[in-house]
Amino acid sequence: MTTTDFPKDFLWGVATAGHQNEGDNVHSDTWFLENVTPTIFQDRSGKAANGWERWESDLDIVAAMNLNAYRFSVEWARIEPTEGEFSEDALAHYEAVVDGCIARGLAPIVTFNHFTSPHWFAARGAWLDEGASELFARYCGVVMERFGDRIALAVTFNEPDLPEMLTWAGLPDFIVDLERKTLEAAAISAGVERYRAGNVMLHEDFPGMRAGMTAAHAAGKAAIKAHRPDLRVGLSLAMCDDVAAPGGEAMRDRKRAEVYDYWLELARGDDFIGVQNYERLHYGPDGVLPPVEGAVVNGMGTAVDADSLRGAVEYAYEVSRVPVLVSEHGVSTPDDSIRADFIAPSLAGLAKAISNGVPVLGYCHWTLMDNFEWIFGYSPKLGLHEVDPDTFERTAKPSADVYAGLVAAARGV
């Protein structure tokens, strides 16, 4: 990998998310769902990685890795903890993070909705509520008014296609049943008829939630552009690299049509499409093929394949025809040697996609440090750094040094 493989203005970063990293997101729907009985969540987020308090030293870590970008989410639940009331403390905090990025030479890539929303919004039915898009746009406008002049890229939604993707994941029936029971318990506890959330979703709600998020993306983008017409806005999709073995073409194409294509076609009107890739799946006539014997597998049980990033990026561009931001990419594994060995060939594949004509804005590795991985709690390990659960001390894994070295070489620093 050389400096000529990537554009000079290429964004090299890491990605994080507020609820997973900050801790104590007590006014959010996810926090509420973690604390009802029964719950689909294996752990409660609690202090998470205590990123709310440690953000300055975390930005120092990012800058020390030779990076020039940092993707993070602003938490709607912190900014508008009560409907119509906006928190000066939260806005000041996120403004300080943005300014802290700029002071360290890091382009702030801001996600406006990384799954979590305010508790009051979920109690209204979330994206099923007829006023959802206007409420989201109002929040986006408040954020933009405060520090939108200083952010580099805006991501409205993180993985709005994830519910459809999970229907292809072969989850056991008890998971679907427990999701329903979690939402029913939340509705009872909140005293409402319908409690809905962005990352615990019922199958019958998929069409309505998709429609609601589509309208909210359009309204949010309009609110962002009203403040800064030049700011590039897009959304980020969960994307496997789906490959057809002989006879598997129809299965692969059906998966693409059901999961990605709606959003990729919508993105044709955006400034970029975010790609979040963690695996390559091979499809035969009857579905996903198992890993070959002896393959190195990730925490999802699928083979680790560094070329998956190239394949996902090329498909995203083929359909959307807009520039691509790799907004997340990584591997779930407790064995950091797998992660360390995975990064260089993945980036070589990305360079190949660029040479094949795909305009790529940047690459953000998921994630800076081990954190709260939603319903799976703290078991999955995807970080470049370990976090002590008691002191929250960050310790670099070998993969962090590998990534930092590759970026230094690519940037010529």
Phi, psi (deg, nearest 5) at residue 178: -70, -35
Examine the residue annotation and report whether 159 is marked as an active-site residue of this protein.
yes
Enter the DSSP assignment of 28.
B
Question: Is the bond preceding 367 in cis, omega lying within 30 degrees of 0?
Answer: yes
Q: Which amino acid is at 49?
A: A
β 241-244/232-238 pair status: unpaired
CA gap 117, 340 in Å, rounded = 34
CA gap 380, 342 in Å, rounded = 17
Chain-centre distance of CA 79, in angstroms? 19
Return the structure tokens found at 410: 């690519």
Compute CA distances 390 → 46, 48, 49, 406, whole Å.
12, 11, 10, 32
Phi, psi (deg, nearest 5) at residue 12: -110, 115
* Selected catalytic residue, list 34, 75, 159, 179: 159
In what helix (H) or strand (E) does residue 259 lie, and over which residues does it extend? helix 249-259
Number of other residues whose CB lies within 10 A of the CB of residue 290:
12
Return the structure tokens found at 198: 């962005």
Burial of 119 (0-12, 13-18, 19+ CB in 10 A): buried
Active site residues: 159
